[in-house]
Amino acid sequence: MTTIDYEAIAREAGLERVGARPPLGSYLVSVWRRRAFIYTMARYRLQASVEENRLGLGWIVLKPILNALLYGFIFAVIMPSDTRPDNFIPFLVAGVFVFEYFSKALGMGARAIVGEASLVRSLNFPRMLLPVALITRHAIEMVPMMVVLGIILVVTGEPITFWWLMSIPVLVVMTAFNLGVALTVARLTVHVRDISQLIPLITRLFFYASGIFYSLELVLADQPSWMLRLAQLNPVHDFISLIRGYMVSGNPVNSFMWTVAIVSAVLMLAFGTWFFWRAEERYGHD
């Protein structure tokens, strides 16, 4: 009895398997062609997340402000003064605002796919749109946050300089890093749901290791120089330090921080893109 190879016939006819993973280049092109959908989805999700609150979009900046006040009150009392810079308030506020950007990418990125299971199962589209839309939403949120950050810095006595504009390229590089993080944890959570339970722990680890409420330079001032270099290999710390260096007086910027920030962003984005794309056929089936 002759066996008909329908799959071979379909390939010859130019037909593709439903849900098949396209080549990476074609995949990224298809994502780019849907950039209007990404922006629209990000904007609507942002509105939906705050529409039930009386203050609406005000919570975007009010939450990090409250966090900064809480951390400032606690750590200004219990921490030794020699680990804090003289301008502790602007130092802390800048750190909290920038860290909020990273923590959202990590925490909400883990649910970018599993939290949209019905959408993933019902429609055929590049699944990368979901984490990209998520990071786009957070990038939009950073605009009013940076405006409010600037106002707080002025109120606390920081001078306005043209160096503040350097915060834009820093945040662009950080956005690339955050996207790579979101793509990576989005896939990992699909395969192992328990990872979502570890995300708060990982977030706290980065929080305490990134010098949000203390200065690594002051803490490690009496230690061998390699210890500070090792601590500065944490890209989240470097993103925060770069923003502080350009916007908060007394916080110098060095080329090593820029090198770590850029290399980390490029590597994280490249790996996250490849890692996420490799499992494209599995999303919605696991």
Per residue in 84-132, pLDDT tens? 677 888 888 889 889 999 999 999 988 888 888 778 877 788 899 999 9
pTM of the model: 0.86
Is residue 89, in this structure, part of any structural domain at all?
A: yes
Is residue 77, in this structure, part of any structural domain at all?
A: yes
Is residue 3, in this structure, part of any structural domain at all?
A: no
The domain in which residue 63 lies consists of 24-282
Structure tokens at 226: 């390699």
What pLDDT is recorded for position 221? 74
Residue at 264: amino acid letter = S
Per residue in 191-234, pLDDT tens? 888 888 889 899 989 988 888 887 887 777 777 888 888 888 99
Is residue 17, in this structure, part of any structural domain at all?
A: no
Is residue 8, in this structure, part of any structural domain at all?
A: no
Is residue 6, in this structure, part of any structural domain at all?
A: no
Output the CA torsion sign for 232, 235, 239, 242: positive
Is residue 13, in this structure, part of any structural domain at all?
A: no
Is residue 265, in this structure, part of any structural domain at all?
A: yes
Domains in the chain: how many in total?
Answer: 1
